[in-house]
Amino acid sequence: MARRGKIPATKYPVERFTLENGLRVVLTPDRSAPVVGVAVVYDVGIRSEPEGRTGFAHLFEHLMFQGSENLEKLAHFRHVQGSGGTFNGSTHLDFTDYFEVLPAGALERALFLEADRMRGPRLTEENLLNQIDVVKEEIRVNVLNRPYGGFPWLKLPPVMFSTFPNAHDGYGSFGDLDSATVDDAKAFFDRYYASGNATLAVAGDFDVADATAMIQRHFGDVPARPAPPLPDFDEPAPDAERRDVYTDRLAPLPGVASAWRVPDPIAGFDEYLPYVVLAEVLTDGEASRLVERLVQRDRSVTSIGGYIGFMGDEFQVRNPTALLLQAHMPPGGDAEKVLRTVDEELDRLVHDGLAPGELERTQARIATHLLRDTDAVLGRALPMAVLELQRGRPELLNELPKLVGEVTEAQIVTAAAALRPDRRATVEVLPGAAQ
Amino acid sequence: MTTKKLPDLVPDAKLKLPKQAERSLPGGLTVIAIRRTSVPLVELRLRVPFSKAPLPRATLLSQALFTGTGAMSSVDIAAELQSVGGGLSAGLDPDRLLITGNALATGLDRMLEILAAVLTDPAYPNAEVATERDRLVDHINVALSQPAHIARTALLKRMYGNHPYAVQTPEPEQVRAVRPAALRSLHADRVRPEGAVLVLVGDISPEKAIDAAEKALGSWTGPGRDESLPATPPLEPGPLLLVDRPGAVQSSLRMALPALPRTDPQYAALSLANMIFGGYFSSRWVENMREDKGYTYGPHTAIEHYLAGSSLMVAAEVATEVTGPSLLETLYELGRIASLPPGEDELEQARRYALGTLRLGMSTQAGLAGLASMYASFGLRLEHLREHSAALATATREQVAEVAAKFLAPTQAVTVVLGDAEKVAAPLSALTQVVRGTA
């Protein structure tokens, strides 16, 4: 066995507590730079939006920036940026996050802003119509007006999944977006944006006692509302290969993406983790299996990537989810041939195992990626808020490099053996643009 | 509902720069090492002067830089780097070749050795170069289908005329014609330490990191070539250039305005004027175009710096049916900031944003590395942050108004719209003179 390099770890301290209203709080102080990151995460995402309201979770995220109890429209943005900070929010399959990064002296202001909208956003007809327009432009710029828009994150779920929560378009149809009402938004807030359905994480340059007092001061009087029951979105995995193909009128080159169901990322974490490593063994860099074979040797693809979770958020997604491979091919490329080669390479991995050092170097590189992400205050606040929300284990962020380093060759082989053609969902994109 | 008061800000502590060291190696390479121990990693940036290098060759060189050395194949290079948690990649801008990488801090020596082999003993193997050439052509063809790329290409041509900055992406046919031998000779001629700057940031001792760099890169020698470019020509505002993209559901609105280099005494005031106009979310233009009108999702402006000149770039993707009204609002907001001094409150807000985001940018190893490397390529050091912060902190309304009048006037703008000409030509023509053209 090759000598195992030492994988370093971070030791960010983690303080957890729950307010009387049910809000779960994570504090992770680190005074190495005078900045703080604040993240509030609600346990609702694309999978929870009702039929006929595709895109609603994301539209609602926009509405959370349109003013709240003590804040006019535009005030949130101005207060964050006027404090020297930045902000954003994003809607995922299983959660919606809101966050700020600011100079340390603006921490209390950020907590005030988040608490104010947790008590209630200003949901008006005018703001709703304005943000429907903005979201449509977002969809146009990211999906409709560019080549490969939504490939594969919007194109593959309907091939792989059968139930509405898992299969539908999370950006939403323009028809559904146009049908959204203020009452829908009020009901969505009442049901999902409850203090008991949220977590708050603060990372960076602060004193724990001070921050705790500030959090009590601002979030303590947010009305207590319980979390709705956590839905189970599981559905049977495909028992035969599923395929779809479409033409992208803007795309100059063909592409193909495949996905395979993986174990439950939370309940089956030990069985799930090897797939995270496998994705990198297959596609991370020029020395990875599929890049070496498909890009360098066969030249049958121009680029190939592999990851877990349709939004690439492997430690922030619930069951069911998938390992994805996506490739762009040269002109005239043959998706069938690419898939056959992938199968061949997976077979080879299953039968011959890994080369000496292959696992260790992949684990070392994953460790670098994980550690690098945590160097930013937001790279700690956001994942810790989600890990608290989904697992009650924010400290897992510190442990991931080590846990990745403990994955064994046998586990990788077992994972690779499960990526069979008959469990695969594939979508092909054909070039519709003049070459 | 009780009214709650917005908490006050605690004033920022004095700007603190990290511990750093710098050394010029005998071969001509400058090494800057900066200590930030937050995570056990090291970031690497190397910028090599590359202006006037023939574009197709230089672009392929940046794509093929890691294809092999005398002793290592491309797979060896990647695997060896991975084994210390590392990775290296290369890119090109009109002034420089830029190598970017990171690794576990314990892997610094190994990463530097591999970098040295790539720099001093490159092979550019025929087969690997051929693969990278095909990939680059595919990549360019995908870029040519992206509206943001097409619009930028058209804008650069309008801005720069005969200046080398006018074309920043080679034609696929030009790339196809590049042979490995041409890469070898370009590498021998231009990938030289003189004028190059290596920046290392991370969980390192700065002096020891520089020693390691000197040990690994001591054999990288040879004269550089002084290929400084002529200053960019002044912008020539003229009719709006409309580039047709039949069927486009959005129009890409682009403008270029003149700007100042970072070291100009008026630069801080210009950055603030840019912020107030469109340089951040809480700017006039973004609040108007997005939050009031709903015409667009992510409009933005930024000052772009090259060695031979700076410019202020304005960009928005707007729905086809509101292309005319979007230009109207843009011209209005430019006219407003060029004609009237900003309010005290909006200046303070922009000032705090500019000062705060400087600190955010310095708060990670990667942020520090990018900043130090970018500054160094303009002959500046991190200490420049103090000077720039002081200038931001003291710029007055009058100073901001003065530069805004000079640089943000709509009459100064070079404007390009990429969109469905059949639908947008008439509404645009109602506002300004329009000429049709191609990217």
In the 3-class helix/strand/coil scheme, how is chain A assigned residue by residue?
CCCCCCCCCCCCCCEEEECCCCCEEEEEECCCCCEEEEEEEECCCHHHCCCCCCCHHHHHHHHCCCCECCECCCHHHHHHHCCCCEEEEEECCCCEEEEEEEEHHHHHHHHHHHHHHHHCECCCHHHHHHHHHHHHHHHHHHHHCCCCCCCCCCCCHHHHCCCHHHHCCCCCCHHHHHHCCHHHHHHHHHHHCCHHHEEEEEEECCCHHHHHHHHHHHHCCCCCCCCCCCCCCCCCCCCCCEEEEEEECCCCCCEEEEEEECCCCCCCHHHHHHHHHHHHHHHCCCCCHHHHHHHHHCCCCCEEEEEECCCCCCCCCCCCCEEEEEEECCCCCCHHHHHHHHHHHHHHHHHHCCCCCHHHHHHHHHHHHHHHHHCCHHHHHHHHHHHHHHHCCCCHHHHHHHHHHCCCHHHHHHHHHCCCHHHEEEEEEEECCCC
Mean pLDDT value across chain B: 97
Q: How many other CB atoms sit within 10 Å of the CB of residue A423?
A: 18
**3-class SS of residue B385:** helix
Q: Is the Cβ of A195 closer than 8 Å to some Cβ of chain B?
A: no
Would you say residue A149 lies in a domain? yes
Can you tell me the distance from the alpha carbon of B301 to that of A292, in angstroms, rounded to the nearest whole number? Answer: 40
User: Which fold does the domain B20-217 belong to in CATH?
Assistant: Cytochrome Bc1 Complex; Chain A, domain 1 (3.30.830)
**Given an 8 Å threshold on Cβ–Cβ distance, is A361 in contact with B79?**
yes
As given in the structure block, the two tokens for residue A98 are 């809101």
Q: Based on the domain organization, do A52 and A161 belong to the same domain?
A: yes
Residue A370 falls inside a structural domain:
yes
Number of domains in chain A: 2
**A127 in the same domain as A214:** yes
CB contact under 8 A, A375 and B39: yes
Average pLDDT over residues B397-408: 98
pLDDT at A75 (0 to 100): 97
Proportion of chain A above pLDDT 90, given as a percent? 97
Distance CA A260, CA A290 (A): 16
Backbone phi and psi for residue B253, each to the nearest 5 degrees, phi listed first: -95, 125
Establish if A230 belongs to a structural domain.
no
Interface check for B359 against chain A (CB to CB < 8 A): the answer is yes
Query: A107 and A148, same structural domain?
Result: yes
Residues A319, A366, single domain; the answer is yes
Same domain, A212 and A310: no
Contact state of B103 with A368 under an 8 Å Cβ cutoff: yes
Confidence class for position B172, pLDDT limits 50, 70, 90? very high
Touching B: A residues 238-267, CB under 8 Å: 249-253
Per-residue model confidence (pLDDT) at position A3: 44
Contacts with B87 from chain A: Cβ below 8 Å: 285, 365, 368
Alpha-carbon dihedral sign for residues B24, B25, B31, B32: negative
Q: B348 CB near a chain A CB, below 8 Å?
A: yes
Look at B87 and A140 and tell me if their CB atoms are within 8 Å: no
**Res A102: pLDDT:** 98
Q: What are phi and psi of A257, to 5 degrees?
A: -140, 140
Which pLDDT band, with edges at 50, 70 and 90, does B4 fall under? confident
Domain with A167 in it: 15-219
The shortest C-alpha distance from B14 to chain A (Å) reads 10
Return the domain boundaries, chain B.
Answer: 20-217, 240-437
Enter the DSSP assignment of B200. Answer: E
pLDDT at A18: 98
Specify the CATH superfamily of domain B240-437.
Metalloenzyme, LuxS/M16 peptidase-like (3.30.830.10)
As a whole number of angstroms, the distance between CA B134 and CA B129 comes to 9
Res A434: pLDDT? 64
Interface contact flag, B352 A84, Cβ < 8 Å: yes
Whether residue B134 and residue A330 make contact (CB cut-off 8 A), yes or no, is yes
Question: Is A138's CB within 8 Å of B297's CB?
Answer: yes
Contacts of A84 in chain B (CB under 8 A): 12, 352-353, 355-357, 359-360
Largest alpha-carbon pair distance within chain B?
75
The token duo for A233 is 């979105």
HSE value, Cβ hemisphere, 13 Å, CA-based, for B296 = 25
Mark A13-42 as b/e (b = at least 16 C-beta within 10 Å).
Answer: ebebeebebbbbbbbbbbebbbbbbbbbbb
| A189 and A289 housed in the same domain | no
Are A209 and A326 found together in one domain?
no
Mean pLDDT of A356-367: 98
Indicate the pTM of the whole model: 0.97
Query: Does residue A48 fall inside a structural domain?
Result: yes
List residues bridging with B240 in a β-sheet: B434
* pLDDT range class, residue B2, cuts 50, 70, 90: low
Look at residue A10 and tell me if it is in a domain. Answer: no
Q: Does residue B328 sit in helix, strand or coil?
A: helix
A213 touches chain B (CB under 8 A): no
Residue A384 has which token pair? 């810790």
Rounded percentage of chain A residues whose pLDDT exceeds 70:
98
Contact between residue B326 and residue B253 where contact means Cβ atoms under 8 Å apart: yes
Q: Yes or no: say if A110 and A117 are a contact pair by the CB < 8 Å rule.
A: no
Whether residues A252 and A378 fall in one domain: yes
* CA distance linking residue B270 with residue B322, whole number of Å: 29
CATH code, domain with A120: 3.30.830.10
Among candidate residues B220, B223, B224, B222, the one with its CA nearest the CA of residue B112: B220
- pLDDT at residue A209 greater than cutoff 90: yes
Q: What percent of chain B has pLDDT over 70?
A: 100
A416, A346 in Cβ contact below 8 A? yes
Query: Which of A210, A220, A195, A12 has the alpha carbon at shortest distance from A107?
Result: A210
- The string of pLDDT tens digits covering residues B339-395 is 999 999 999 999 999 999 999 999 999 999 999 999 999 999 999 999 999 999 999
Whether A251 sits inside 8 A of B145 (CB atoms) is: yes
Q: Report cis status (omega within 30 of 0) of the bond before A320.
A: yes
Which chain A positions have a beta carbon within 8 Å of B18's beta carbon? none
**CA contacts within 13 A on the Cβ side of A259:** 29
Tens-digit pLDDT profile for residues A120-149: 999 999 999 999 999 999 999 999 999 999
Q: How far apart are CA B431 and CA B115, in angstroms?
A: 54
In a domain, A246, yes or no: yes
Tens digits of per-residue pLDDT, B262-282?
Answer: 999 999 999 999 999 999 999
Confidence of residue B321 (pLDDT cuts 50, 70, 90): very high
Query: Does the pLDDT at position A93 exceed 70?
Result: yes
**Dist. CA A74–CA B291, nearest whole Å:** 8
ipTM metric: 0.96
Clarify whether residues A253 and A208 are in a common domain.
Answer: no
Which of A30, A66, A371, A429 best tests the B interface by mutation, with the highest count of B CBs <10 A? A371
Q: What is the mean pLDDT of chain A?
A: 96
On whether both A185 and A261 belong to a single domain, the answer is no
Q: Is the predicted pLDDT of residue A5 greater than 70, yes or no? A: no
Asked if A431 has any chain B CB less than 8 Å from its own CB, the reply is no
Bridge partners (DSSP) of residue B251 are: B318
User: Helices (DSSP H) in B66-107: which residue ranges?
Assistant: 74-83
pLDDT at B332 over 80: yes
Query: In the predicted model, what is the mean pLDDT of residues B166-189?
Result: 98
CA distance B225 to chain A (A): 32
Residue A269 has pLDDT above 80, yes or no: yes
Sheet containing strand B434-437, strands side by side: B300-306, B309-319, B250-258, B414-419, B240-244, B434-437
In angstroms, the CA B24 to CA B371 distance is 19
Residues A376 and A300 grouped into a single domain: yes
- pLDDT, tens digit, 9 for 90 and up, residues A410-424: 999 999 999 999 999
Residue B421 to residue B244: CA distance in whole angstroms: 5
Interface test with B, best of A174, A248, A296 (most B CBs within 10 A): A296
Question: Chain B window 121-180: which residues touch A at a Cβ cutoff of 8 Å?
Answer: 128, 131, 134-135, 138-139, 141-142, 144-148
Question: Which pLDDT score is estimated for A1?
Answer: 33
pLDDT of A2 = 39
Kindly tell me if the per-residue pLDDT of B333 is higher than 60: yes
pLDDT at res. B1: 53
B366: closest chain A residue by CA: A372
- Please tell me the distance in Å from B11's CA to the nearest CA on chain A: 6
Give A-chain residues touching B359 at CB under 8 angstroms.
33-35, 84, 103
Q: Which residues contact B19 (CB under 8 A, 6 or more apart)?
A: B34, B35, B206
Q: Is A34 on the interface with B (CB under 8 A)?
A: yes
Same domain, A97 and A34: yes
A229 in a domain, yes or no?
A: no
From A4-13, A182-191, B48-57, B403-412, the region with the lowest mean pLDDT: A4-13
- Does residue A118 sit within a domain? yes
B250 touching chain A per CB within 8 A: yes
Question: Burial code of A168-205, b = ≥16 C-beta within 10 A, e = fewer?
Answer: bbbbbebebbeebeeebbeebbeebbbbbbbbbbbbbb
A residues 331-390 closer than 8 Å to B (CB): 331, 357, 360-362, 364-365, 367-368, 371-372, 374-377
Cβ neighbour number for residue B419 with a 10 Å cutoff: 29
Single out the residue of A295, A318, A297 nearest to residue A306, CA to CA: A295
Residues 6 or more apart in contact with residue B53 via CB below 8 angstroms: B61, B186, B190, B227
pLDDT digits (tens, 9 = 90+) for B74-103: 999 999 999 999 999 999 999 999 999 999
Q: How many CB pairs under 8 A join A and B?
A: 241
Residue A419: C-alpha distances to residues A114, A163, A236, A279, A343 (Å) = 43, 22, 16, 11, 8
Give backbone dihedrals phi and psi of A242, rounded to 5 degrees, phi first: -115, 140
